[in-house]
Copies of this chain bind each other. A is one copy, B any other.
Amino acid sequence: MRAVVVDKFGDESVLNVKEIAAPKPGPSQILVSVKAAGINPVDTYIRSGNYLPSRLPKLPYTPGGDVCGVIEAVGENVGSEFKVGDKVYSLLITASGAYAEKATVEETFTVKLHQGLSFEEGSALGVPYFTAFRALRTIGQAVKGEKVLVHGASGGVGQEIACIQIGKHLGLEVIGTAGSENGAALVEAQGVTCYRHDDPDYLQKMKTAEGGFDLIVEMLANKNLENDLTMLNVGSGRVMIVGCRGEITINPRLLMGPETQIRGIGLTDEAMLETIKCLDEMASKNLVKPILGKSYSLDEAKTAHAEIINNSYGSSYGKNFFKIDN
């Protein structure tokens, strides 16, 4: 089969397509014929080698955690829920790597594709919706009625729209920002008030109109963290670091008086059941609706990785993915 293979950690030039043997499913695994694979910033962090050592795969490896496709075979211990021919997607992680024509997924990390969603939409769910749920609920501990700012809500990595949709489902009051007219339209189409962060006065306008926030989901901490700390409610306020592209200078005293918090969101916890339950509930109300961005072939992997990091905030929007002819 054809797959993207990384032989050494480094910049996007290490992403090369090769012909390799198709993976075989272990006893608890499912073999998926891949129709689409999501492209996530975390894939680039891992590829660079600059990530938690315990989470770096052994070389060589095939990147990607989000696949969507059709079950081609199931391991001997896989439950009867999953059958050959079923449409499924992976939540967060695959066993063999998503950027390939075939991939194996542990049953635990496999979810049946909800009715009405395309393969491409299915490939846009895993990391983005898991991360959004984790930021809002698992680590963010948001409770019904809290006021949430999704900062960079139109950004192109998929977490943004997932945050809005899950936030509304959880009964949170969600406000967004976007960096373009298209982006703002996208956010507003979700039924959410949107401020334009390309307006130099947007912070003051937002503070005046909205007051403080209980929770800010931050997609670009290196740009916004210091400002975020000035917009949090005393006592309850917390910034969730979901995206970051570099350093920022902050005054930590901003956290002291109001006793606010900054919490990092990674992919540490693989306990998925809560996220899957939330997604199933949302799907039953037709509330899971990822917004698709740009489509790539596997041969365009280098470009895809460069663009997810450089263009993922502000002017672009929608979730990028590989489309695979299978």
Q: Which residues in chain A, 258-304, are within 8 Å of chain B measured between CB atoms?
A: 258-266, 268-269
Residue A252, interface by CB 8 Å? yes
Copy total for this chain: 2
Bound: A257/B48 CA distance, A: 14
Residue A225, interface by CB 8 Å? yes
Residue A79, interface by CB 8 Å? no
Complex partner residue of A248 from B52, B252, B257, CB under 8 angstroms: B252
Given A248-B250, A249-B249, A256-B266, 15 further pairs, Cβ under 8 A: A52-B258, A218-B252, A234-B268, A235-B269, A241-B256, A244-B253, A248-B251, A250-B250, A257-B264, A257-B268, A259-B264, A259-B265, A259-B268, A261-B264, A262-B262
Known A-B contacts A246-B251, A251-B244; A265 and B261 likewise in contact (beta carbons under 8 Å) = no
Q: Which residue of B lies closest to A242 (CB)?
A: B256
Complex contact B249–A264 (CB within 8 A): no
Bound: A256/B257 CA distance, A: 24
CB distance from A224 to the nearest CB of B (A): 10
Query: A interface vs B, CB < 8 Å?
Result: 45, 51-52, 54-55, 139, 218, 221-222, 225, 234-235, 241-242, 244, 246-266, 268-269
Bound: A262/B260 CA distance, A: 9
User: Please, could you name 14 A-B residue pairs with CB atoms under 8 Å apart, sorted by A?
Assistant: A55-B257, A218-B252, A221-B252, A221-B253, A241-B253, A244-B251, A244-B253, A248-B250, A248-B251, A249-B250, A255-B264, A256-B264, A257-B264, A257-B266
Residues of B within 8 A of A139 (CB): 259
